[in-house]
Every structure is written in structure tokens, then in C-alpha cells.
Amino acid sequence: MSQPLVPRILRPRRAAPADAVRPTRADVNFESLRHNLRVVKKHAAGARVWAVLKADGYGHGAPAVARALERAGADGFCVALVEEGVELREAGIAAPILVMGGHYGGALEEVVARDLVPVLHDAGQIEAFARLVRAGTVPGPLDVHLKVDTGMARLGVTMVDLPGLAARLADYPEVRVRGLMTHLACADAPDEGPSAEQIRLFDEATALLARAGVRPEVRHAANSAALLRGQARLDAVRPGLALFGIAPCVGGVPLSEELRPVMRVRTEIVELRGVERGAPVGYGATWRAGRPSRIATLPMGYADGLSRRLSNRGHVLVRGKRAPVVGAVSMDMAMIDVTDIEGASVRDEVVVLGAQDGPLGRDAIGADEIAAHADTIAWEVLTSVSRRVPRFYREP
């Protein structure tokens, strides 16, 4: 008889609202999240919606987001890591959880015990899970999804190796391939040809497996971009970015105008000082005042998700007006120039990501704009908001 499983997967603790001392925080709007799920479901046209909650739910806090989405009708969830799947189960999530990262290490038993669905991509993984069942360590048969590489060259059994793998699956009745997936590499490219070719290969892989007697019940390939373009909806879709209110762009044009941003990151001015013309600001003196200036200090830095690449390039919102980031963003703090922000004072709200209404107007800074300033992508902007920034969950 197997021994009771002792959980061994640990995660760093997220900053809790009750522990917050400094004013830096992220507000997560559940109504916007539910709205985006409704938009996604409309585009899914009946396909199952498996919300992708990798990287702490794209920085929004995976457990709370998963609970909200599960109540709102999401059919399941996708994560990259076993640890992420465990976190969702410990948060009370009952829906299917697909672990797509392909690495299970010594946690095979925990994957089964937590009722996580592994995505496998080679014969060695299939054999490893089959051995667990044969040894009586876990009950079987085990349901898995198989990943096919149709052009990403990252994970997945290649089209060259698939015939051999298909022939060997009969040797492992302890493992049932219930799902088949692939990953589209160019879903947001102007040319739809590469995605069409990947889907053609995926159909070919499906037919090849069927000839070997393997007929998965669910096939899935579409990410947010493919879903919004009406590509590869199949039996299930895997939206991530769209759920959090950001539409992938094709040729600079968003694929949807219906989505609403879910996260708003804000802090406050904690220090104000005047500097003379020519005075340096920040590490390395990378910025010098071109006129007598008022410089405000913010309690947020690159360790919180305010990228160092925004030094002397980015903006924030104060009193409804843009203020430039000046000097090098440091680990815990950053400085902004509020010379042109009439009435700026200590304790004023500063919006780093999102919208602000203030006495000087209304404006918004989106993740795409930040990404452009930082030479990166919106995905990285969201997932860079670190766990030491507490998330406050809002119901309007």
C-alpha cells in the first residue's frame, strides 16, 4: 500500500493587502475580468474556454482570478508549472487544470494526487507515468494530453517522431491520450500562412494518431490572437492575455475593441524637492534638470515591476496628467518630474498602469504603451508586477 502523500511543493508568499505599509499596490477589477470572459466566450463559438493563468495569472494573482473565472463559467485552466497547478488546487479550484510546461521532475505522484492533467511530449514521459500505475503507486489509467510540435520548435513530439510514438502508445494502456494540442508560433503575425500551415500539420497528426487507434476527445491550439482572429478554435481555446483586457495586435491594430483592462497599478508621491538647473537625479546622473524643477519620489522600483528600461523614457499619471520618469529607476524607488503638474503634493496618487481621473484631466497608460517604451511586450509588463506588490480585488 502506498504511503500518504506529503505535499512538498512550496511557493513564495504573496504580499497581502492587510500587510501593506507603503502605498504601492495593484487593483484588480473582477467585473472587467468577467466582461472579458464573456467576450472570449462569444469568440470561442461554443468551444471550451480554458483560461491560461501562467505566471501568477499574468501577474494578477492566480488563485483569486481562478476563483472568479470558475464562478463566471470558465471550463478549465492552463498553467505552465506543477507548482502553479498545486497553488490553484490549494485555493479550492475544482475545474480541470492542464499543466503545459512539460517538466514534472520528481513530482509525478503529486501531479496525480492533485488531479492535474499533464501535457506530455515524448515517450519517456509516457513510460514514467505508466510505471507509476503498474507499480500501484497511483491509480490508473491516467488521462493526459499529448503535445505535437507543428512549428514552434520548443516542446512537443515532432511530426518526424510522431509515427513511432503513436505505434508505441499501445504498449502503455495505463496512459490515455484524452487531449491533443499544439502551440501556434505566429498567431498575431500579419501573414496568416504560418498558422494555417501549423493547423494543417495538426490535422495530419490527428489523422495519423487515429490510424493508430488514438482518438483524443479534445483538440486545442488557439491562444488569444488566434481566438480573436477566428483561427483554430477546435474543441477548446486557451486565452491568456485577452482575459486580462489586452488585445493582441496585428500590424499595430488591436484584434478587439471590446476588452477592458483588469489591472491598475498605483502608488503615491512620498517626497517632493526642488532641484536647480543642471542638477543630477538618480544613479549615474543619467538625467539633469534643464530648468529649475520639482522632482517627486515614488516608492516603487524595478523590483516591483516598474522596469528600469523606463528610465528617462516612461510616464506616470499625477492629478490626471502625464509626468515623465526622470533618472534611473532604482530597485525600490523612482523619480518623476512634476514641474508642470500644478498642485502636485505629497500623498498624491500616481498611476503607473491604468486610468486616472484628476483635477487636471483624465488619461490612461496601457500595458502596450509601457511595453513600447521598455522595448518589450505587454505580457512581460503584466507578469513583471512582483509578488511584493499586494493585489486588491475589486467588485464595482
Q: For residue 260, how many C-alpha atoms fall within 13 Å in the half-sphere facing its CB? A: 13
Distance, CA of 134 to CA of 300 (rounded, Å):
53
Give the model's pLDDT for residue 106.
85
Q: Do 51 and 169 fall within a single domain?
A: yes
Q: Do 231 and 280 fall within a single domain?
A: no
Catalytic residue among 54, 104, 147, 321: 54
- Number of domains forming the structure of the chain: 2
Q: Do 167 and 237 fall within a single domain?
A: yes
Give the model's pLDDT for residue 80.
97
Distance, CA of 57 to CA of 384 (rounded, Å):
11
Q: Do 311 and 234 fall within a single domain?
A: no
Gyration radius from the chain CA atoms: 24
Q: Do 148 and 287 fall within a single domain?
A: no
Contact 100, 80 (CB under 8 A): yes
Q: Do 109 and 234 fall within a single domain?
A: yes
Catalytic residue among 41, 104, 147, 283: 283
State the residue range of the domain holding 360: 263-365
Where b means 16+ CB within 10 Å and e means fewer, 63-97 reads bbbbbbbbebebbbbbbbbbebbbbbbeeebeebb
Give the model's pLDDT for residue 211.
96
Examine residue 141 and say whether the peptide bond preceding it is cis (omega within 30 degrees of 0).
Answer: yes
Cell of 269: 508621491
- Specify the amino acid at residue 289: A
Give the model's pLDDT for residue 7.
52
Contact 11, 43 (CB under 8 A): no
Collapsed DSSP state (helix, strand, coil) of residue 331: coil
Q: Do 211 and 283 fall within a single domain?
A: no
Within a 10 A sphere around the Cβ of 105, how many other Cβ atoms? Answer: 8
Contact 87, 61 (CB under 8 A): no
Contact 261, 244 (CB under 8 A): yes
Q: How far is CA 226 from the centre of its chain?
A: 16
Q: Do 230 and 284 fall within a single domain?
A: no
Answer yes or no: is 391 within a domain.
no
Q: How far is CA 66 from the centre of its chain?
A: 12
pTM of the model: 0.93
Task: Establish whether 283 is a catalytic residue.
Answer: yes
Indicate which CATH number applies to the domain containing 130.
3.20.20.10
Task: Establish whether 321 is a catalytic residue.
Answer: no
Q: Do 223 and 335 fall within a single domain?
A: no
| Rounded mean pLDDT for each run of 10 residues along the chain, 396 residues in total | 50 66 95 98 97 97 97 98 96 97 89 95 93 89 96 96 95 96 96 96 98 96 96 95 96 94 98 97 97 98 98 98 98 98 98 98 97 96 95 90
Q: How far is CA 304 from the centre of its chain?
A: 16
